[in-house]
Amino acid sequence: MRYRSSAIDALTTHDEMKETLRIGLYHRYKKEQGEDQEDRSLEFEAFVAEMMETVRGGRTYVTRASRNYGIDIEEHTDHGLYLGLAVCADDRDPVDYRPIAVVHSQMVKRGAVGGYVATTGDFTASAYQYADELNIELYNGDRLVEVWVGGSETEVSMEQNNYEILLKE
């Protein structure tokens, strides 16, 4: 019984850690009040591009903000071109279908084999349904953190009720 309790505690701690990381991502990359869209850097887009390289093993390129027609990331893989859009969003304002429509439009126009939208928050139910119909991957904040943590090859060690994060070299 003690092992089961320890395992549940470890999972709870792991979920709390992921939630903390997700909220931290939002606050790290959010657009500040009054900041002009053209002045903001592409740090979040670069972060998402780096995470997406771990998903398919392709090469990513963050597009210039002024000439991207809504596409933030081009990912070149052995299977073809994937187009991505990164949205730093608060939980109180879930991402709707519009970024998905932009990605789909550009996929068709440019002959991309796939697309994705990544956010620090979540998506509306209709956004999930719309993306599923178009074969566009959605990465909400939780899934983005899982890719991030998984990409650094993190494992949890359970030894005598002491939990520590081990990073593989």
Provide the residue type at 105 as one letter. S
The pTM (predicted TM-score) of the whole model is 0.77
Domain boundaries defined on the chain: 2-32+40-167
Residue 50's pLDDT is: 93
pLDDT at residue 91, rounded to an integer: 85
What does the pLDDT read at residue 6? 55
Q: What does the pLDDT read at residue 155?
A: 38
CATH class as words, domain 2-32+40-167: alpha beta
Average pLDDT by stretches of 10, the chain with 169 residues: 53 77 90 60 90 92 71 95 94 94 96 96 96 93 91 40 36
The Cα–Cα gap between 103 and 113 comes to 11
pLDDT of amino acid 160: 34
For residue 124, the SS3 value is: coil
